[in-house]
A = this chain, B = another copy of it.
Amino acid sequence: MTAISLRAWQVVLDAVELDLLEGRLSPGDHLPPERTLAADLGVGRSSVREALRVLEVLGLIRTAAGSGPSAGAIIVARPGGGMSSLMRLQVAAQGFPVADVVKTRLVLEGFIVAELAEACRTSTPDLTSSAQILTAMEEHSLTEAEFLALDAQFHLSLAEASGNLVITATMAGLRSAIEGYARAGALGLASWPKTSARLMLEHRSILRAILTGQADAARLAVQAHISGYYAETHLTAH
């Protein structure tokens, strides 16, 4: 045996992963009932539940009680769900310094907008939802929290437009990790109306750079946008 005394819940996890890799399970499929799974794998139901809990937090399955087609544990492969939890908790546990989180966001978002801009030179990526969010943000009656939520949604919509699921999921995780921090920083800003107006202008210029195919300009704009807000809130937070 290569692995002796594997934890019972790991046995379950490995079995599910193997079923996924070998095609016996696919998104949309139902996992066997917990009791059946326990009996088949020769472990207790508690161990099965621990493994299922992990899969649920990782965004791989969705569980529902009751009976019928919608009940039970269903493979959903929802990317990003687990990433958010992971990032949030790691930041909470000081595993991830916020500065590193911001820098990673700079890299990924810079790439995304540059790629989108490149794509705009030959085709027309779907950026309507991004534009719609910007329009919604111009509503003057928005609270800070609402504005920041839309702000985050805008950045996420760009990632989604890029079509890269991994980057989208990572971005979602990073965003939720920064959220509390950004919110707290906003409260200490000298002038929220002034900052929000600036953020809006920056958003517009980012989108314009993308649509006109200026990859470098888009990258620089989004990076200045992110690091600018970070620096501003970082300073006032101290």
Residues of A within 8 A of B (CB): 9, 17, 20-21, 25-27, 46, 49-51, 53-55, 57-60, 75, 77-79, 82-83, 85-86, 88-90, 92-97, 100-101, 103-104, 107-108, 111, 164-167, 169-170, 174, 180
Contact = CB atoms under 8 A, between A and B. Distances in A.
A164 B53 contact: no
Given A54-B54, A79-B96, A83-B86, 8 more contacts: A17-B88, A21-B180, A58-B85, A82-B86, A103-B166, A107-B111, A107-B167, A166-B174
27 contacts: A9-B53, A17-B88, A17-B89, A20-B93, A21-B92, A21-B180, A54-B57, A58-B86, A60-B89, A60-B90, A60-B95, A77-B90, A77-B94, A77-B95, A83-B86, A96-B166, A96-B169, A100-B164, A100-B166, A100-B167, A101-B166, A103-B164, A104-B108, A104-B166, A107-B107, A107-B167, A108-B108
A20 B166 CA distance: 28
Contact of A104 (B57, B94, B167): B167
Given A104-B170, A107-B111, A165 B86 contact: no
Contacts of A164: 100, 103-104
Contact of A93 (B54, B77, B96, B104): B77
Contacts of A96: 79, 165-166, 169
Nearest to A50: B53
Across the A-B interface, the 8 shortest Cβ-Cβ residue pairs: A77-B95, A77-B93, A20-B92, A50-B53, A100-B166, A79-B95, A104-B166, A107-B111
Specify the main secondary structure of chain A where it touches its partner. helix
A75 B174 CA distance: 21
A100 B17 contact: no
A25 to B, nearest CB: 8
Contacts of A88: 17
A204 B44 CA distance: 51
Nearest to A54: B57
